[in-house]
Amino acid sequence: MTRTRPALPMILALLTLTAGAAGAEDAPAPKDNITAVRSENGRYYTADDVPTFNIAKDGTVDWMTYSGFRRYHSECHVCHGPEGEGSSYAPALKKSAITMDYYAFIDVVTNGRKKVNTSEKSVMPAFGENVNVMCYLDDIYTYLKARGADALPRGRPAKKEPKSDAIRDAENDCLGRE
């Protein structure tokens, strides 16, 4: 069975259904939400079927992580700082992919989050309608996960796996290209 990224409307519908899960944002991440136990068409997954990174001993990163570096730096680093390190404007995200449940991460990016009180002011805009984020959300997640696990150093990855046809097809489908 070939796993492909669902079209953006399907993603949004699924997230809408799961967004109300009580405590999802605060749910602890699984004990090992890092280690890739299987791969499928250039994508790597943990035992819980959560996307993760794969970095070879020679430093070659999987395509998703490399793409995540590119997408993070085009959409996220303006607020959250280079390499997920944070800034004076927004918190570091490099550990979020490790400590936050995958589905909670998706929910926050898709729907945004606002925490404003006397001790904190945190406002994350919703990116659910931005295809440059949504079509690459797993890529951004795996990149941040690799950074948070200290498996990927700062800077552009020097070596990457080739982009698989399945990833290319899913990307084209999500972006509405033929």
Residue 83 to residues 61, 102, 154, Cα–Cα distance (Å): 15, 19, 6
Domain residues of the chain, as ranges? 8-170
* Fold that domain 8-170 belongs to in CATH: Cytochrome Bc1 Complex; Chain D, domain 2 (1.10.760)
Q: What pLDDT score was predicted for residue 15? A: 43
Q: Give per-residue pLDDT as tens, 111-157.
A: 998 877 777 777 888 998 999 999 999 999 999 999 999 999 898 99
Q: Are 62 and 53 in contact (CB under 8 A)?
A: yes
- Report pTM: 0.79
Indicate the burial class of 44 (C-beta count within 10 angstroms; 0-12, 13-18, 19 or more).
buried
Q: What pLDDT score was predicted for residue 177? A: 86
Q: Give per-residue pLDDT as tens, 6-54.
A: 555 444 444 444 443 333 444 444 456 789 999 999 999 999 999 999 9
